Structure 1
Amino acid sequence: MFDALITKKKQIAVIGLGYVGLPVALAFARQFRVIGYDINPGRIAMLQRSEDPSREMVHADFEEVDIRFTANADDLKEANFFVIAVPTPVDEYKVPDLKHLQRASEAVGKALKKGDFVVYESTVYPGCTEDDCLPILEQTSGIKLGQGFKIGYSPERINPGDKEHKLADILKIVSGSDPEACQEIAQVYRAIIRAGVYEAPSIKVAEAAKVIENVQRDLNISLMNELSIIFDKMGIDTHEVLKAARTKWNFLPFTPGLVGGHCIGIDPYYLLYKARQLGYDPQVIHSGRRINDGVPAYIVTRLLQMLIRQNKDPRQSKVLVMGLTFKENVSDIRNSKVVELVGELMKYAINVHLVDPRASPNEVAHEYRMTLMDSPSSHYDAIIVAVGHEEYRTLDVAYLKSLMNNSPILLDIKGLYNVSPDDNIDYWRM
């Protein structure tokens, strides 16, 4: 397969061109012929103009690449090596939602031919590729695994907003349905990954390795959030505690905050779901999720206490929330915990204004029915800086105070600002 791909006698198809699929497709397209497929015609139209809807890739990334973007599933029949990188969210009950994965498997199954390879990159629970996706491929194509095609799993490790750790510089885990499949898949990925590849012994091992990466981060952040609550009750600055603790070489540098997005805030539910299917109820993982999910309500409780302390009626208060994306320096608003924070504020009839230099006002209106202002107004009773965008790090306390009325209140969720008693502001950070 590799020889046919590198000589461009055969093509690679990448299914799903979001924050994971697009960088993978463009990287492959510097070495191979590539078909970039997405079900969203609007997204395809932007990509054909060398515009990334996620604003992670720049115009230069689209130069000198052999790629054809399409929303026509029939075009997939021209490919022989398929990479599926579609979203794997959870539903309102925190249950894995596999509909994107299932639809992508059906589309690939209809294009599948003998000798083809199918590699999944979407984050799933161990066993999903072989137990949930493979039957769809076999049923749709009429071809059996091993007799006509091979599958693999190579988990994505893209970190949105990270300009230092890019796709080619992150070691890539690969796996296959048999040793030959693993070796062939590894050879294809080695062509684009400078950091090299790690060949996992099975697909399930590769799936499990991916999902626990984010489970581990979720648990570490939940510990920081719980410590923040404890230290807050003691009147101790959590950031000063962590600063002191980091003087030991093996202290892990995690910080408290909102945990949203489509990785850390989602992936643990995939492992929870699978564990419960097997009759085991994970205590530690569930506890971490419960703590992190409760952070928006906790922040609003602290704001209410501060408003009352300043003799301000929450029902008559106007609050500015700065930042709505799920993390700093990205435009992605999916599963943003700031949205939940805003919802908690509105429960108390607080007048909320929203700004974010990275988010799209149209996307915010469409997804959450919220209005994103072009710029802040004035006479706010309090400001919540919820996301650590680079644009906010350059601001100072004097500017933030100028947006507020008497007895200003600042909630600095990410601890961006150094505030002194001379600033005469009611200040709190996690």
Structure 2
Amino acid sequence: MTGLKKKKVNYTIGVVGLGYVGLPLAVELSKQYSVIGLDLNESKINSFKKGHDPNEEISDEVLARASIDYTNQSAELKKCSFIIVAVPTPIDNDLKPDLLLVKAASKLVGENLSQGTIVVFESTVYPGVTEDICQPIIEQASGLKCGSEWKIGYSPERVNPGDKKHTIDKIVKVVSGMDKETLESVAEVYGSFTNVHKAPNIKTAEAAKVIENIQRDLNIALMNELSLIFEKLEIKTKDVIAAASTKWNFHPYRPGLVGGHCIGVDPYYLTFRAKELDYDPEVILAGRSLNDHMPIIVANRIIDKLKEKGIEKPKVYVMGLTFKEDVKDFRNSKAKDVIEALKKSGATVIGWDPLLDDDTIEKEFGVRNIHPKDLHNTDAYVILAPHNEIRKITIHDIIDKIHNGVIFDLAGVIKQSDILANDITYLTL
């Protein structure tokens, strides 16, 4: 691992894609370099220019101090000598890599590429995408030959949305380049604000990123399976983990819903490439299968328990709809799947998320947004993403509005001992 470096070259850096990854990166780089931030979303650019991040990952105070030239005009990239691409890489309906955005970004970069520029990709991809797919697109769009007229590198994003402790300047960056010269240049830029690890080649860096999230996905899948077993054994998963954690080499993962645009998506990138190479990645796909099925398992547990209480057509109140606590991002949120499964079982579902507006909740989740103080009664409380504002709700607020019902507390934020009413059933993973 290499420590912080002083910059040697006064690059003008262009960051393509100003989302959860690109914006924090642009802000950090602007402390050392001249930065052009490009995003084709005009409303987002206007918000940045007014000093506000609509995702609320970067505070207004920090954004005000950042010297970034925000634009939605791709021609501005012609001014750049170092370009970083940080666009989403989702999957399609067939669970295959959707490279549409990264391909479009490559074409856009190529059309505005100046000779001598270094282009670095941060988007999560399977090994080979940067050099075998993105590089040819840039070459064709620019008419410039990679290696002699411009260079390419890769440094996988490691942003953790909502995490105020492990910020971008405190996370080691894996860097790579097509040759030693490019590697040193990429290391210099990222080394201006954090420690770097130099990967031997681009494919290694690409692989490192996907296995980070695959490992986490599989560990959560393991804990989900264990929680289902422990439920049948009538023991608490939380207590088992606490006991096992007393051993120094035990990794205390927690069961849960795996959503968002990374952990539940990235494994499919590597499994896709593995299948192309005639290898069946059974373990990875088994973990994915279980985690994808967990929302239905959660919904069925709630419905089954309500039926035991004689409640056939329950009213269910679901709180915390984004994919992660204290993050506004609802992409691939498993709350959608839980709600859909509850509805299919005959439940009337309403919801609330303090980070989302009424229109977003109704459009994306198909439920009305009702604040807890406006809720009169319900048969079940379901707490999924435990945002700080949700954690402030006391058990007494809940008990007053639920009788002979069920509380499902995914993250275990409510103390079961606080539930004094004997007719309320408490569930968790």
TM-score range, shorter chain: over 0.9
Matched, 1:59 2:60: yes
Q: Alpha-carbon deviation of 1:237?
A: 1.1
Matches within 5 A, 1:29-48: 29-48=30-49
Aligned-pair CA distance for 1:116? 0.4
Separation of aligned partners in 1, 2:382 and 2:36: 44
Match 2:369 to one of 367, 372, 387: 372
Q: Mind listing any 5+ residue stretches in structure 2 that lack a counterpart?
A: 1-6
Task: Tell me the residue number matched to 1:328.
Answer: 325
- What secondary structure, in the 3-state scheme, does the structure 2 residue paired with 1:175 have? strand
Aligned equivalent of 2:290: 291
Q: Which of 369, 385, 388 matches 2:386? A: 388
Counterpart residue identity of residue 382, structure 2: I
Q: Is the 8 A contact 1:32 1:66 kept in 2?
A: no
Deviations 1:208-256 (A, max 9, x none): 0011000000000000000011111111111111111111111101000
CA distance in 1, matches of 2:365, 2:396: 32
Structure 2: which amino acid aligns with 1:403?
A: K
Q: Determine if the alignment matches structure 1 residue 237 to structure 2 residue 236.
A: yes
Over 3 Å counting, the alpha-carbon distance change for 1:368 and 1:391 in structure 2 is: closer
Match of 1:107 in 2: 108
**Are the aligned partners of 2:408 and 2:426 in contact in 1 as well (CA < 8 Å)?**
yes
Q: Which residue of 2 aligns with 1:417?
A: 414
Alpha-carbon distance in structure 2 between the residues aligned to 1:393 and 1:246: 25
What is the CA-CA distance between 1:403 and the residue it aligns to?
A: 2.2
| Contact 2:121-2:153 at 8 Å conserved across structures | yes
Q: Deviations over 1:242-289 (max 9, x none)?
A: 111111111101000111001111110111111111111101000000
**Aligned-pair CA distance for 1:79:** 1.1
Letter in 1 for 2:248: W
* Contact kept? 1:90, 1:96, Cα under 8 Å: yes
Distance 2:299 2:234 in 1: 18
Q: Which residue of 1 aligns with 2:223?
A: 224
Q: CA deviation at 1:368?
A: 4.4
Matched position secondary structure for 1:408: strand
* Residue in structure 2 matched with residue 251 of structure 1 by the alignment: 250
Q: Distance in 2 between matches of 1:355 and 1:335?
A: 17
TM-superposed CA distance for 1:75, in Å, is 1.3
What is the 5 A alignment of 1:171-190?
A: 171-190=172-191
TM alignment of 1:18-417, pairs within 5 A: 18-193=19-194, 196-313=195-312, 315=313, 317-375=314-372, 376-404=374-402, 406-417=403-414
- Structure 1 residues 366, 379: CA separation in 2 closer, same or farther (over 3 Å shift)? closer
CA distance in 2 between counterparts of 1:422 and 1:411 reads: 16
Q: Do the aligned partners of 2:306 and 2:405 also contact (CA within 8 Å) in 1?
A: no
Aligned partner of residue 407 in structure 1, secondary structure: strand
Letter in 1 for 2:320: G
Matched-pair contact (CA < 8 Å) for 1:222–1:256: yes
Secondary structure of 2:316's aligned partner: strand
Q: Distance in 2 between matches of 1:284 and 1:415?
A: 28
The separation in 2 between residues aligned to 1:36 and 1:182, in whole angstroms, is 23
TM-score, L = length of structure 1: 0.95
CA distance in 1, matches of 2:23, 2:366: 28
Q: Deviations over 1:334-375 (max 9, x none)?
A: 000011100111112211011011223333344445433344
SS of equivalent to 2:152: strand
1:332–1:359 CA contact under 8 A, matched in 2 = no
Distance 1:178 1:276 in 2: 29
**Once superposed, which parts of structure 1, at least 4 consecutive aligned residues long, lie more than 3 Å away?**
360-371
Provide the residue aligned with 2:3 in structure 1: none
1:422, CA displacement in angstroms?
A: 3.5
Deviations 1:51-84 (A, max 9, x none): 1111111011113332111111111111111000
1:118 CA drift (Å): 0.2
Q: Say whether the 8 Å CA contact 1:397–1:419 is kept in structure 2.
A: no
Q: Check whether the contact 1:415–1:429 (CA below 8 A) recurs between aligned residues.
A: yes
Percent identity at matched positions?
Answer: 45
Distance 1:182 1:263, change over 3 A: same
Q: Is the CA contact 2:89–2:101 (under 8 Å) kept in the aligned structure 1?
A: yes
- Structure 2 CA distance, aligned partners of 1:231 and 1:377? 34
Aligned CA RMSD, in angstroms, stands at 1.3
Q: Under a length normalisation based on structure 2, what TM-score does the superposition of the two structures give?
A: 0.95
SS at match of 2:177: coil
